[in-house]
Structure 1
Amino acid sequence: MPITELCPVRQQDRFLYALMDQLFRGFGRLSWRKLDIIAGALYKLLYSTWGYRRDLVRRHLRQAFPDKPEPHLTQIEKDFYQLFADWMMEVCFMHARDWDAVRERFEIKDLHLFHEAHARGQSVIVAMGHQFNWEWGGWIVRKDTTKPILCVYLPLSGAAADKFFLDLRGRYGSEMLPLGKMGARLVRMRSETHTLILMADQSPSDLPRAYWTAFLNRPTAWHGGLERSARLLNYRVLFVEIVQTARHKYEAYPHVLTDDPRSLPEGRLTELYAQALEASIRRAPHNWLWTHNRWKHSPPAS
């Protein structure tokens, strides 16, 4: 399905889209030294001047790490905002450059975990979290595996930004799949080996169908898409952990959660994913998107 059909842009948004395109492309052509200078200014704007969602981030960190002293939490907070600013520059770089330029800075380890499943005719789910830089990760998966890629997405609130990121993510042939159409599309794909990419840590909108499990010291609602899609076609499910190795450089490590999701009790796959993501966050707490209002829902009364 063409991107324009997925995300129709009204006439009044076309100018904003064109502006974003030129601005991101212009920044992306700069050297890393200049991008780092801009990222430093962005960090000061986001953290100190504007204080973008800083109260929310601070509350999340205190709840997730109650035993850490306040100076330690403040340092995690600052490191996160610096990474957030770097991420913006990395998206600009991604928009202006090709796959090879990004590939030099992002490596996926243990690709055999994809290939051996595909070789036996089993499709793969890549269950990611919002760890930096997840945008680069989606690109590299597409180019490092030979099977079709379906990338599930939730629309952004602004039409111009939504279309911009859809174009960016689908640039190398990934099929961008709206969450609401995922089930029907997967049924049609059941005879074709493929890879499905899910950002599985997003807050669910359909609470009656959500799964609840402990995560970072709080009851947390999880979207049921991972669980239901995995059972539908009995995928191999990989949690892909992204680790920053240097500034603007990353490695991704896939971990097998299950090869037979239908054999697991309902909700167990969600628990396995939540446990894997939490362990990764605890290893590098600054490397997750704390600005996302992940705990806006309260658990149902028992």
Structure 2
Amino acid sequence: MNLRDRLTDGLYGLGWSTVKKLPEPAATGLGRRIADFAWRRRGKSVLRLESNLARVVPGADAERLRELSRAGMRSYMRYWMESFRLPAWDAERVRETVEIKDEHILREALASGRGVIVALPHLANWDLAGAWVTTYLGVPFTTVAERLKPESLFDRFVAYRESLGMEVLPHSGGAAFGTLARRLRSGGLICLVADRDLSASGVEVDFFGAAARMPAGPALLAQQTGAVLLPVTLWYDGPDMMRGRIHPPVEVPGEGTRPAKSAVMTQAVADAFASGIGEHPEDWHMLQRLWLDDLEPRGDRA
């Protein structure tokens, strides 16, 4: 492991071991100070966030975009502070913190026995939503995590999410797809963050009026297994509450090739995501390039 990897792993390890021991007001204040420091530096990630938010709120002037990006960085650091502390939360705390609109749609889908695919964007705290599923609904689920460097950091994330009741599969060469399909065929639940995919297999969608790519996996799994595909969006509501919405199921079209069906279904997922992001842009943690015309010719996808 090189020095940079050791430092990265050490910083995250410090967060998990130290932040969860702080009094909650101190942890909240620390997260806000870090967010404001990063925002004032006007670094690459903050500028990219503002560029992305300009797509979501096209009428916003420079001052409004700066306000949104500051709120966005605070929301992003809130995600991290909550995540560092989440393993210490009890089930009652999770239930009191999360309220999901139209949860009956998810319950009915689970009761159908067909298997359920929940697709989410990078809104608010998707890990907290997962903890709500395992504690409030009492339903285990499977998810996929991108392999991070160093490997020890990936192991930390896997251990953290497993402590919340999730089965975590590594996203490596598509090997997870078969396991996900098996979980769905047995009536299980899988949850996938699905608002950014710049690989060759991504499906091109219209997103806030411009072309972007999103993962084909949710649509393909629904076609192959007959599982119910549900988009979900989340947002923070004040300092002590996260809310969410279960959107109506995305149906498999009756006609067309598999790629054509995937295109229609992924567009429907993107439209659901856009509705949630448009209502709560400050809670969308997209600090990377997303739209195709933002990609540099050399293939820089940072």
TM-score between both structures, scaled by the size of structure 2:
0.84
CA contact (8 A) 1:235 1:261 kept: no
> What does residue 285 of structure 1 align with?
281
Specify the SS of the correspondent of 1:256.
coil
For 2:163, what is the secondary structure of its paired residue?
A: coil
Q: Tell me the equivalent position of 2:28.
A: 36
Give the C-alpha shift of residue 243 in structure 1: 2.2
1:55 equivalent among 33, 44, 47: 47
1:18, CA displacement in angstroms? 6.9
Task: Choose which of 113, 124, 136 in structure 1 pairs with 2:116.
Answer: 124
Query: Who is 2:254 aligned against?
Result: 263
Give the alignment's Cα RMSD to 1 decimal.
2.7
Counterpart amino acid of residue 70 in structure 1? A
**Superimposed CA distance per residue, residues 83-115 of structure 1 (whole angstroms, 9 cap, x where no aligned partner):** 112222111211443444333212334333233
Question: How far apart are residue 17 of structure 1 and its match?
Answer: 5.0
Letter in 1 for 2:183: M
Change (3 A) 1:210 1:72: same
Among 200, 221, 224, the alignment partner of 2:194 is: 200
Q: Distance in 1 between matches of 2:118 and 2:55?
A: 28
Q: Does 2:146 align with 1:150?
A: no
Identity %: 22
Displacement of 1:132 in angstroms is: 0.7
Letter in 2 for 1:197: C
Cα separation, 1, equivalents of 2:264 and 2:96 = 36
Deviations 1:232-269 (A, max 9, x none): 111111111112111142012111233x4253734111
Deviates further, 194-203 or 142-151: 142-151
1:163 Cα deviation after fit: 1.4
Q: 2:235·2:244 contact (CA, 8 Å) conserved in 1? A: yes
Code of the residue aligned with 2:254 in structure 1: it is S
Contact kept in structure 2, 1:16 and 1:160, CA below 8 Å = no
Choose from 162, 165, 189 the match for 1:170. Answer: 162
The whole-number CA distance in structure 1 between the counterparts of 2:141 and 2:284 is: 24
Q: Counterparts of 1:219 and 1:285 in 2: how far apart (Å)? A: 19
Alignment of 1:8-27 (within 5 A): 20-27=12-19
Give ranges in structure 1 of 5+ residues lacking alignment. 1-8
Structure 2 residue 271 is matched with structure 1 residue 275: yes
Q: Secondary structure at the match of 2:281?
A: coil
TM-score, length of structure 1 as denominator length: 0.84
Q: 1:96 to 1:16 in 2, by over 3 A?
A: farther
Looking at structure 2, the residues matched to 101 and 194 of structure 1 have their Cα atoms a distance apart, in angstroms, of: 25
Matched-pair contact (CA < 8 Å) for 2:109–2:116: yes
Aligned equivalent of 1:79, options 51, 55, 71: 71
CA distance, structure 2, for counterparts of residue 135 and residue 221 of structure 1: 23
Task: After superposing the two structures, state which structure 1 stretch, 42-51 or 196-205, moved more.
Answer: 42-51
